[in-house]
Structure 1
Amino acid sequence: MPRLDRRTILLAGLASALGARPASAAFPERPIQLVVPFAPAGGTDIAARRLGETLSRGLGQSVIIDNRPGANGIVAGQVAVKAPADGHTLLVATAASFAAAPALGQKLPYDVGSDFVPVAMLGLFPLALNASPTLPVNSLAEFIAYAKQRPGQLNFASAGIGGTNHLVFEMIMQATGLKLAHVPYRGAGLAAADLMSGQVHVMIDSLAASLGNIQGGKLKALAVTTEGRQPQLPDLPTLKEQGVAVVYPGWASIVAPAGIAPETLRILNTAINAAMGDAELVARYRELVIEPVAWSPQETGAFMAGDRATLTDLVAKTGIKLTE
């Protein structure tokens, strides 16, 4: 039997130790943290919680909702971007923080296009064009005609400069040639209250927030901004159906810190998309007036990048500034 030198013995011991190591644990190894840039109880937060409940069953790990409101999503974004890129920390990205903010030139402590990786969609949030009940119009065509006959006399409300409802109405004005004065408020609720009382004339708002007032006759809904009609108001046509070439749903997606392993990304996307087909989740989303969508990371990323490009072009054409 040949003698074994010290080097051979050491190599054999190393090989034995490596062979004895357990295989890498399958993802997820521990609870998943889903960072939400809003306070609890809002529509996006509730949607995230509902998704988290369904995901936890599919992945076999708890999904912990971490509410980090503030600074138009920057507080939440900073929490997520600093986390390890192992799939255990995810962020709810919104149109406001991942499309409007960079389009408007807001200084962000991260790059939304390179510091995060799209995972899947949280959902689409239908918007509605609402008119005050005091306005003597009952359709989009009547409103456009009425406004064109009164240049400079009508206005539109928003929840603030550069917000989604501001930018979408700017899109409508670009598409129709209308020119209305912008009246920004500190929040959509205040703007909607003045819309119902006739202090302002029209407003883009989430269908979820305005549905009850539309159904109660306190607001006149002229159109929805989505590609198709919404089941909650099946008789309300889209902007596109009525000849205005604007399709813009509000949206929220799920992103992860850049550097996530492809297999981890695949597992997360598969689980989220499976959740989007869950009957209980679909029913809850329907109550919240959210449209579930099951898209790949590539489709999600293309949608987000396309929205940034659309809003960047809009800002360039209109000269909108956050300080106006």
Structure 2
Amino acid sequence: MKRTAFPRAFACAAGLFLALQGAAHAQSDWPNKMVRVVLPFAPGGSSDLVGRQVAQHLSTHYGQQFVAENRAGAGGNIGVDFVAKAAPDGYTLGIATSGPLANNKSLYNPMPFDPEKDLAPIALVGEIPLVIAVNPSVKASNLSEFVALSKSSTNALTVSNPGNGTIGHLATEYLRINTGAKLQPVPYKGDTPAMADAMSGTVNAVVAPVTSLIPNIQAHKLKALAVTSKTRFPGLPDVPTANEQGVKLEATVWSAMVGPAGLPQAIVASLNQEINKYTGSSEGKAKLTQLGMVPLAGTPAQLSELMAAEAAKWEKIVKSAKISAE
């Protein structure tokens, strides 16, 4: 018995060693074929264009094709769910926004995946803040005056947003709940109609990603009261943040690369390092800025913390305002 046990144990150990060695070699050889990069929104939007910029850069750096593939629907959930259920081998990745990575967790029931359990955070790419803008006829020159005006008005001030459950909707509810402002959110199907009705005076104000509103703010067809990022937006340097005006409100659309849970750490580290280099480079900054994005960087752990913190933050607003994306 003892004579046969040792060879069998040795054979098992050798087999395990060879398997681990093969896995390590596969990781060190990554990528040795095309990598699919899932973009969970329709072609042509800012999130799609950002994802394609990053995929193109990674193709150049790694010498393999990182092919962008759109899988839109359910507020980004369909595409990210595909990533979450893919094999964790580094050949299916996703570049998604804060919606499916954090906010949707409290908006959709059931949610097809758990962002914090089913995804491997890789790297932040950048963020697009919101802007709060009003029709020029509204008698408020800053956000504090707008809040005060709403409280003194007989009827609630109407505020358009790009859609039910979007960050523009959530930010309006956040402002209403935390300041006591008398506001009525009005959801539209996209940035353009929400902006158009604010310009026509059909609604008093609009809260939407800053990139879609800049031209009409610069043309004085809308009056910008505040941006909702930590610091001022470079494209509108004269517009103060909400926080600067004493109104606590931070709300941005941030983008990040993720993979399925269980993605090898060597692949995560490699991608994180390269994306951080890109978003910090003059080329990366220039290309992302052209798309209205403020480049960001950070570790996978920091992205994980952001996903959890944002999910918890917006869950409180969703529950308080009784919002549902269904």
Taking structure 1 as the reference length, the TM-score comes to: 0.89
1:261 aligns with 2:264: yes
The structure with the larger Rg is 1
Secondary structure in structure 2 of the residue aligned to 1:276: helix
Which of 206, 211, 215 matches 1:208?
Answer: 211
Amino acid of the structure 2 residue aligned with 1:171: Y
**1:45 pairs with 2:58:** no
Partner of 2:192: 189
Deviates more, 1:149-158 or 1:304-313: 149-158
- 1:64 correspondence with 2:67: yes
Residues 296 and 152 of structure 1, relative CA distance in 2, 3 Å threshold: same
**Partners of 2:154 and 2:178 in 1: CA distance:** 16
Equivalent runs, 1:287-306 vs 2, <5 Å: 287-306=290-309
CA distance in 2, matches of 1:106, 1:204: 25
* Structure 1, unaligned runs of 5 or more: 1-6
Is 2:83 the partner of 1:80?
A: yes
Within 2, Cα distance between the matches of 1:105 and 1:35? 21
Between Structure 1 and Structure 2, how many residues are aligned? Answer: 311
In 2, distance between residues paired with 1:171 and 1:218?
26
Q: CA deviation at 1:322?
A: 3.6
Greater Cα offset, 96-105 or 128-137: 96-105
- Please tell me whether residue 144 in structure 1 is matched to residue 147 in structure 2: yes
**In the superposition, relative to structure 1, how do residues 264 and 322 fare at CA in structure 2: closer, same or farther (>3 Å)?**
closer
Q: Does the residue aligned with 2:117 lie in a helix, a strand or coil?
A: coil
Structure 2 unaligned runs (5+)? 1-6
* 8 A Cα contact 1:152 1:181, kept in partner: no
CA deviations on 1:216-255 (whole Å, 9 max, x unpaired) are 1111100000000111111110000000011222112111
Q: SS at 2:78's partner residue? A: helix
Q: What secondary structure does 2:295 align onto? A: coil
Determine which structure has the larger helix proportion and give its number: 2
Aligned mate of 2:182, from 171, 179, 183: 179
Identical-pair percentage = 35
AA matched with 1:204: V
Q: Structure 1 residues 316 and 70 mapped into 2: Cα distance closer, same or farther (>3 Å)?
A: closer
**CA distance in structure 1 between the aligned counterparts of 2:131 and 2:25, rounded to whole angstroms:** 52
Q: Which moved more, 1:110-119 or 1:136-145?
A: 136-145
Give 1:153 shift.
3.6
Cα distance in 2 between the residues matched to 1:148 and 1:300: 38
1:230 aligns with 2:249: no
1:246 aligns with 2:249: yes
Aligned pairs (5 A) from 1:161-176: 161-176=164-179
Per the TM alignment, residue 267 of structure 1 is displaced from its structure 2 partner at its CA by: 0.9
1:307, distance to aligned residue in structure 2 (A): 0.3
| Structure 2 counterpart of 1:314, from 300, 314, 317 | 317
Contact 1:55–1:275 under 8 Å retained in 2: no
Residue matched to 2:104: 101
Deviation at 1:105, TM superposition (A): 4.2
Q: What is the TM-score when the length of structure 2 is the normalising length?
A: 0.89
Residue in structure 2 matched with residue 116 of structure 1 by the alignment: 119
Is residue 279 from structure 1 mapped to residue 282 from structure 2 by the alignment? yes
Greater displacement, 55-64 / 240-249: 55-64
Please tell me the residue identity of whatever aligns with 1:260.
L
Distance 1:166 1:277 in 2: 31
Give structure 1 regions of 4+ aligned residues with deviation exceeding 3 angstroms. 21-25
